[in-house]
Amino acid sequence: MRIKYDVHIATLKERPLELGKIVSGSILGLGGGLVILAGGWIFTIATCLVAYQATQEFYGFVTSKGISAGMEPPPPLVSALTSLMCICLSVWTYASNGRSTAALAVSSFALLSLQLLMVNKLKFSQLASSVFGLFYCGYLPSFWIKLRVLSAPAINSTALHGWPVLFGGISHWTVGLIATFMAVACTIAADTGAYAFGKTLGRTQLISISPKKTVEGAIGGLMCSTLVALAFWRFLRWPAQAGVAVGLALLIFLASLCGDLIESVMKRDAGLKDAGDLIPGHGGLLDRFDSYIFTGAIVYFILKFVTPLFGL
């Protein structure tokens, strides 16, 4: 009787956490959809906020006892400037219509030079962590802006003709808008499918970095990502070929998985369960957005350079 009572109390305690997770996840999803639809400076400001919070949590890893015991973290001033430069990278990417590579080089030079001047016994770990933070938290998120500003008109889908007034007309539905929606939707599907299949059918461990990830979960995530991509092809007529949709779904799934695993490595070395407590039920922002870190860059690269090369 005592065991049943304890289980009942534990279940009641878990319900508020689950409810908070559902509510916060729904708010994030709705807000994210509206931000993607708006585009422009609204999308850019949202990316800046993500970049800022990501750098705060990244340096939380770097300065944790687990990591700082093995390597010296950068000075607080460098951490603060990294946050500022990550924000500036997003602003520059939008203002320059997608040009951010040179800005990354200049920002890296500034961070490294500053440490040469202000740190007496400079360590390689300080240089490496500051540049990686700039790349991981600033440069990679800026690719979502590059993707969103792609201005080529989307395939003229009959599914969009019913929404001309409310959503800005058919001309508003550019490749950048639909591709961003598809990348986000496929990432959500991959994460959800991997969790659901892994929890119900998971038996075979996928990788030692994250013991809870299973082969069955990965297969489920890939299937869900593919179904979502094919739904975009079928109902919105984008991409134009089903094969391209399947290829994008596969790459998005791999990008989301790798992003998740890389953050797992950082959390493991830092000795932390979560990157933070910003989002109720989800942990820190990186715990929620780690799957998106590489996705924008990969989808942008495929659409900008690979599909035109093959006339797709």
The DSSP secondary structure of the chain, one letter per residue, reads: -HHHHHHHHHHHHHHHHHHHHHHHHHHHHHHHHHHHHH-HHHHHHHHHHHHHHHHHHHHHHHTSHHHHTTSPPPPHHHHHHHHHHHHHHHHHHHHTTS--HHHHHHHHHHHHHHHHHH-TT--HHHHHHHHHHHIIIIIHHHHHHHHHT--SBPP--GGGTT-TTTTT-GGG-BHHHHHHHHHHHHHHHHHHHHHHHHHHH--SB--TTSTT-BHHHHHHHHHHHHHHHHHHHHHH--SSSHHHHHHHHHHHHHHHHHHHHHHHHHHHHHT-SSS-SSBTTTBSHHHHHGGGTTHHHHHHHIIIIIHHHTT-
Domain boundary among 87, 118, 149: 149
Q: Do 129 and 169 fall into the same domain?
A: no
Domain assignment of residue 21, yes or no: no
Domain assignment of residue 32, yes or no: no
172 in Cβ contact with 210 (< 8 Å): no
Q: Do 138 and 235 fall into the same domain?
A: no
Q: Give the pTM.
A: 0.88
Domain assignment of residue 3, yes or no: no
Q: Do 205 and 144 fall into the same domain?
A: no
Domain assignment of residue 9, yes or no: no
Q: Do 74 and 138 fall into the same domain?
A: yes
| Total domain count, the chain | 2
For position 211, what pLDDT does the model report? 86
Q: Do 252 and 129 fall into the same domain?
A: no
Q: Do 143 and 164 fall into the same domain?
A: no
Q: Do 165 and 253 fall into the same domain?
A: yes
Structural domain range at position 105 = 39-149
Domain boundary among 119, 149, 179: 149
Q: Do 241 and 164 fall into the same domain?
A: yes
Question: What pLDDT tens digit does each residue of the chain (312 aa) get?
Answer: 444 444 344 444 445 545 556 666 678 788 899 999 999 999 999 999 999 999 999 999 999 888 877 788 888 999 999 999 999 999 999 999 888 899 999 999 999 999 999 888 899 989 999 999 999 999 999 999 999 999 887 655 555 555 544 444 445 678 999 999 999 999 999 999 999 999 999 999 999 888 889 999 999 999 999 999 999 999 888 898 999 999 999 999 999 999 999 999 999 888 888 887 777 766 889 988 999 999 999 999 999 999 988 877
Q: Do 130 and 159 fall into the same domain?
A: no
Six-digit token string for 15:
């319900």
Q: Do 161 and 143 fall into the same domain?
A: no
Domain assignment of residue 194, yes or no: yes
Domain assignment of residue 29, yes or no: no
Q: Do 100 and 171 fall into the same domain?
A: no
19, HSE (Cβ side, Cα atoms, 13 Å): 6
Domain assignment of residue 55, yes or no: yes
For position 153, what pLDDT does the model report? 75
Domain boundary among 149, 178, 194: 149
Domain assignment of residue 26, yes or no: no
Q: Do 181 and 296 fall into the same domain?
A: yes
